[in-house]
Amino acid sequence: MRAAALQRSALVLWLSGALGVKDAREAAKRIAQLTDADLQRIDKELTEGDEVEAEWRPTPKPIDFSKGAKLTPEMLAGHNAGSAMVFAILHYDELTKEATERLGGRWAALLASAGLDLSVYTISEDRVLITLPHARHVTELREYLLAQPEVAEVEFNSLKASGPADGLAYRERVAAHDALSKSTRDKRIALDKAVKLAEEKATNRRRKKRRATAAMRKDEV
């Protein structure tokens, strides 16, 4: 049980860096629902073959974004050893967790029938995590995802590529979500300040009361 809890915590921390805090909170809720068998499967997929491949794996050349380059299959060459995590960010009319789970299930079945070894996990209503035990299949997966009308972005190793759903409506939804998150964060900060101020005032009142009581007792003596 403790090992499973540590796995969940590690995955949440990893996703916090990949998704940002606002989406990672939702991811944490979804990860909490994963069974021990799910966690073991993810761990196996992400570690299988790494020790053997590490002996001969070449050091990949850094990807140059100085000229505004985008993620392409050629850029993935040399970055295709070991395991991989790929995120698909979605935008479509029926954007719910249940609909996204059904969509992810269809993708998993189709890709498995095409010979790709992978697992699909619904992180939130608009985000799917796909794990690959062998990153050499990332290019195939990327091409498939970028052909799906529900996909707005595909992210691998912090590199993003735009999909068919990356349009004005998607960007407006992202902007509205970010604005709401900022508003909620600002309100929480303001509330924390108000609570802290109230606690300080209460502490000062207690101190004054104690000093007054001590002074009265001294006068009585």
pLDDT digits (tens, 9 = 90+) for 176-200: 766 766 666 666 776 677 777 777 8
Nearest to 140 by CA among 112, 177, 174: 112
Q: Given this model, what pLDDT does residue 106 score?
A: 94
pTM exceeding 0.75? no
Q: Given this model, what pLDDT does residue 93 score?
A: 85
Q: Which residues of the chain have pLDDT under 70?
A: 1-36, 38-81, 177-178, 180-187, 190-191, 219-221
The architecture of the domain spanning 2-165 is: 2-Layer Sandwich (3.30)
Q: Given this model, what pLDDT does residue 26 score?
A: 62
- pLDDT digits over 94-127, tens only? 889 999 999 999 999 999 998 888 999 999 889 9
Kindly list the domain boundaries of the chain, sorted by start residue: 2-165, 167-221
| Contact indicator for 36, 4 with CB cutoff of 8 Å | yes
Where do runs of H (alpha helix) occur along the chain? 2-19, 21-32, 36-47, 50-53, 73-76, 97-113, 138-145, 168-220
